[in-house]
Amino acid sequence: MTSTLYLHDNWRFSAVGETDWHRAIVPGCIHTDLKANGLIPDPFYGTHEGSLQWIDKQDWQYETVFDVPQDMLNKSQIEIVFEGLDTYADVSLNDTPILAANNMFRTWRIEIKRLLRAEGNRLHIRFRSPIQEDLPKLERLGYGLPATNDQSERGGLGGKKLSVFSRKAPYHYGWDWGPRLVTSGIWRPIKLEAWTQARISDVYIHQSSVTVEKAQLEAHIEIHSEVEGPAILRLHGAGRTIESTITLAKGVQTHRIEIEISHPDLWWPRGYGQPSLYTFRAEVAIGGTAIANRTVRTGLRDIQLVQTDDEAGTSFYFQVNGVPVFAKGANHIPNDSFITEVDEERYRHEIVTAAASNMNMLRVWGGGVYECDVFYDLCDEYGILVWQDFMFACSMYPGDAAFLQSVEEEAKDNIRRLRNHPSIALWCGNNEIDTAWAQYDEHGGWGWKQQYTPEQRAQIWSAYESIFHRILPDVLAQLAPRAAYWPSSPMQALTGDRSQHAKNDSTRGDIHYWGVWHAVEPFSNYNVNLGRFMSEYGFQSFPELRTVQSYAEEKDMELESDVMRWHQRSGDGNRLIKEYMDIYLPTPKDFPAFLTMSQILQAEAIKTAIEAHRRKKPYCMGSLYWQINDCWPVASWSSMDYYGRWKALQYYAKRSFRDIAVSVEEDDERIFVHIISDGRDNLEATLHVQLFQFDGQLVREQTAQPHVEANHVLTALTLKKSDWTHGCSLPEIVLIATLEHEGNALDQKFHYFAPVNKLRLRKATITVRPMDADETTFLVETDVLAKSVMLTASAEGVFSDNYFDLLPGLPKTVHFLQREQGQTAFHLAQPGAMTVSSMCDWTEVDA
């Protein structure tokens, strides 16, 4: 059997050329180690990042000394495994060089038995500065490559954008929501693995066909053997053991075992069924003794990306086990600039948040990292589908042989590591490069190609085609034959002509719609600019005051202060938030109120988009907003801040993504009440529509008994606006649509007849009363319509609902859920000190 020894102890580090050594934490990185030793200040505080740009210009060395137990030394093969080195790393063991690593995303395995001794082994890693390493590559190429988000100026490199030359997380070099902190270090585990005779190096459960009746699987079991001759190969799983006699050869070989499971427990995305999982264990035995084994987990499902022509264009949706799934979710970026700071609890908090927000998909965006195993394990467990980008974003890349080879190896390593995860629905080549370069549209794109000579252009595009149209799809087809590949997000189709590139009115492929925000278009444009699959759209906000206080002092609490501008990386971000706020919301009375109102603004924007996309199902089959999380405390498009604190948007998304949802819209004459079902069963529901004055007086009501068909959108009621609002003052009424099934409320939406800043809101007196002896559940009531009721708690956690509107006579019950370590990320708990307020409290409106 393989025995394993993690080499995470006794590490120290120093700057190359210096003699001072300091304690290091492995896995970790140079920035976190410098900080832990008090050698640099907190990189996220104030403007500290600016003074830390020297770190990436310097070479760093790490070393440890370790012993090896005798039983391990006795094995005939001893390998050292580096699951991730960031990035240019020269490794030596007992003064013999064993590895020169050059790609952060690769795994390295080296046989080292001959170099090992029982005691005092010295493992030394020298990390060459990624900046010094890559500058000559730029010189050699002779021209720069576009890399829109690379903040080279901040790094003291002028216009020299080096991110494209390294296979290293692109966001380390800065992004429009992230700092420039170019790390070096041992970012994933290092271990010794020792074995004799044979080792099972990989088990891939290939799903040849999966239906409700039958799953036909083929286990591909890769064995590394140093012996030859007969052996028994067994596969345990799904309540049986399949055994076959094999003949081992020396070296690496793959054996296949077929498995048939009738009526399998299928893996379903959240909302469609249980995300059932199966565990398979492969075992090799010689002469009656098991010598190697390996366990993997997977879920059985059939996933297809369906692109078929229809009268409107070409579909773009995921079909899981034969059911078309409307993808609801968000884009994910790395949870930290220093990825090793993200422990399992933080990953769990994110995935539990996604599931609790009624999402079923996250997109692992291409400017970050191929995520850690635990991220995908959690997605498997919570039924969250993954749209997986390869790590390329908003840049053009070199096409020399060494670079292409490195990309190919990186793709192999990561596909092999991740291909058993049932949650992965799609592999996508890159983020926004097809659209930015726009090869076939001379005047299209982001103005990149126009800077180059015809020869340079040809060279750059040829590198693009090698990576995204050849290497990545080929490797994927070899290693995960039934997985879907999409060359770039967004794109229309791989046509090789102008119609390849995405547009806001594309009737095929996916769309990133940024007209609202970057082009200051009105929120209502979300209703018209939508396509078959909305893989990005977004709107910024500020984090809450507590979070701002983690990086700013009282004197910085002003939009134009250096610190507030430092923690805003989208050029015009702060101005855009203000501009939109002037259009849609009343004026906040002070800075803390401004922070809160920015969250309401963002939430209102994204709610408009989500509901517009869902109402257009099945034409539109996906809505992933930009972005669920942050990598440091900052103003950004996130719905949850760096500390995992839910912004207003997270609560709005939870409501707008409900599996069975009500959505109200109006035109000049009519009010439409739609019911959107992502459910798998038909429902006989009850729909109440009631019109109230802000003082709680009922003006008019109507009830309907709609038949809600599974997985459909229905316009359940169309009301004549003039009849319904007759005799009312429009800024003082609200229409409330409530959908019920067998006495349970499925959804409730408030709809107003004037923009929020024109509503005649009055100062509300809101009471919050505990409903249980434990004081975890509360009844919230008001005396007059209260807009965006905000509850705060001194404990870290979330409320079951928040930032909701409240009408007299319609009290609301909420409970508090605390974050916790362990199996569930949320549990019912006391919120500690609470406050309650609503929009009138944050604006200049007086009682």
Considering only residues 513-572, where is the footprint of ligand BMA by CB under 6 A?
536
Q: Is the dihedral of CA 8, 14, 20, 25 positive or negative?
A: negative
Length of the chain counted residue by residue: 847
Q: How many CB atoms lie within 10 A of CB 601?
A: 25
Region from 32-40, 171-179, 302-310, 750-758 binding ligand BMA, contact rule CB under 6 A: 171-179
Residues with Cβ within 8 Å of residue 111, at least 6 apart in sequence: 77, 78, 79
Alpha-helical regions (H) of 98-250: 130-141
Helix and strand numbers, DSSP H then E, in the chain: 17, 51
Closest to 659 in 3D by CA, of 273, 243, 239: 273
Residue among 502 and 739 whose Cβ is closer to ligand BMA? 502
| Minimum distance, C-beta of residue 420 to ligand BMA, in the bound complex (Å) | 28
Closest to 691 in 3D by CA, of 680, 700, 683, 682: 700
The reply on whether position 177 binds ligand BMA by CB under 6 A is yes
| H-run or E-run covering 455 | helix 454-464
Q: Which two tokens stand for residue 289?
A: 């003794």
| Minimum distance, C-beta of residue 429 to ligand BMA, in the bound complex (Å) | 13
How many residues of this chain interact with ligand BMA, rule: CB under 6 A? 12
Among 202, 410, 432, 556, which residue sits at the site for ligand BMA (rule: CB under 6 A)? 432
Residue among 420 and 627 whose Cβ is closer to ligand BMA? 627
Considering only residues 57-116, where is the footprint of ligand BMA by CB under 6 A?
none
Among 167, 206, 512, 532, which residue sits at the site for ligand BMA (rule: CB under 6 A)? 512
Residue among 538 and 831 whose Cβ is closer to ligand BMA? 538
Residue among 93 and 164 whose Cβ is closer to ligand BMA? 164
Considering only residues 727-786, where is the footprint of ligand BMA by CB under 6 A?
none
Among 278, 626, 657, 724, which residue sits at the site for ligand BMA (rule: CB under 6 A)? 626
Q: How many CB atoms lie within 10 A of CB 422?
A: 29
Pairing of strands 834-837, 786-793: antiparallel
DSSP string across 658-706: -SEEEEEEE-SSEEEEEEEE--SS-EE-EEEEEEEETTS-EEEEEEE--
Region from 120-128, 173-181, 741-749, 772-780 binding ligand BMA, contact rule CB under 6 A: 173-181
Active-site residues: which are they?
432
Residue among 448 and 626 whose Cβ is closer to ligand BMA? 626
Residue among 129 and 331 whose Cβ is closer to ligand BMA? 331
Q: What mask, x for binding ligand BMA by CB under 6 A, covers residues 571 to 610?
A: ----------------------------------------
SS3 at position 185: strand
| Minimum distance, C-beta of residue 316 to ligand BMA, in the bound complex (Å) | 18
Q: What mask, x for binding ligand BMA by CB under 6 A, covers residues 318 to 357?
A: ----------------------------------------
| Minimum distance, C-beta of residue 525 to ligand BMA, in the bound complex (Å) | 17
Closest to 654 in 3D by CA, of 625, 680, 631: 625
Measure the CA–CA gap between 231 and 154, rounded to whole angstroms. 60
Region from 50-58, 77-85, 172-180, 404-412 binding ligand BMA, contact rule CB under 6 A: 172-180
Pairing of strands 317-320, 323-325: antiparallel
Hey, which residues does 687 pair with through a beta bridge? 704, 739
DSSP string across 378-438: HHHHHT-EEEEE-S-BSB-----HHHHHHHHHHHHHHHHHHTT-TTEEEEE--BSHHHHH-
| Minimum distance, C-beta of residue 389 to ligand BMA, in the bound complex (Å) | 9
Residue among 248 and 394 whose Cβ is closer to ligand BMA? 394
Asked if 516 and 536 touch (Cβ cutoff 8 Å), the reply is no
**Cα-to-chain-centroid distance, residue 51:** 30
Three-state SS sequence of 727-790: CCCHHHEEEEEEEEECCEEEEEEEEECCCHHHCCCCCCCEEEEECCCCCCEEEEEECCCEEEEE
| Minimum distance, C-beta of residue 171 to ligand BMA, in the bound complex (Å) | 9
Residue 95 backbone dihedrals phi, psi, to 5 degrees: 70, 5
Amino acid code (one letter) for 745: A
| Minimum distance, C-beta of residue 297 to ligand BMA, in the bound complex (Å) | 31
| Minimum distance, C-beta of residue 676 to ligand BMA, in the bound complex (Å) | 26
Residue among 62 and 397 whose Cβ is closer to ligand BMA? 397
Region from 158-166, 175-183, 521-529, 678-686 binding ligand BMA, contact rule CB under 6 A: 175-183
Closest to 534 in 3D by CA, of 604, 621, 428: 621
Asked if 789 and 766 touch (Cβ cutoff 8 Å), the reply is yes
Residue among 272 and 637 whose Cβ is closer to ligand BMA? 637
Considering only residues 265-304, where is the footprint of ligand BMA by CB under 6 A?
none
Closest to 127 in 3D by CA, of 187, 58, 189, 192: 58
| Minimum distance, C-beta of residue 539 to ligand BMA, in the bound complex (Å) | 10
Asked if 285 and 231 touch (Cβ cutoff 8 Å), the reply is yes
| Minimum distance, C-beta of residue 696 to ligand BMA, in the bound complex (Å) | 42
| Minimum distance, C-beta of residue 608 to ligand BMA, in the bound complex (Å) | 18
Region from 21-29, 160-168, 169-177, 461-469 binding ligand BMA, contact rule CB under 6 A: 169-177
Residue among 579 and 684 whose Cβ is closer to ligand BMA? 579
Region from 170-178, 477-485, 501-509, 696-704 binding ligand BMA, contact rule CB under 6 A: 170-178
Closest to 801 in 3D by CA, of 769, 770, 779: 779
Residues with Cβ within 8 Å of residue 742, at least 6 apart in sequence: none
Residue among 275 and 538 whose Cβ is closer to ligand BMA? 538
Measure the CA–CA gap between 429 and 490, rounded to whole angstroms. 10
Q: What mask, x for binding ligand BMA by CB under 6 A, covers residues 360 to 379?
A: -------x------------
| Residues near ligand BMA, by CB under 6 A | 175-177, 367, 393-394, 431-432, 512, 536, 626, 637
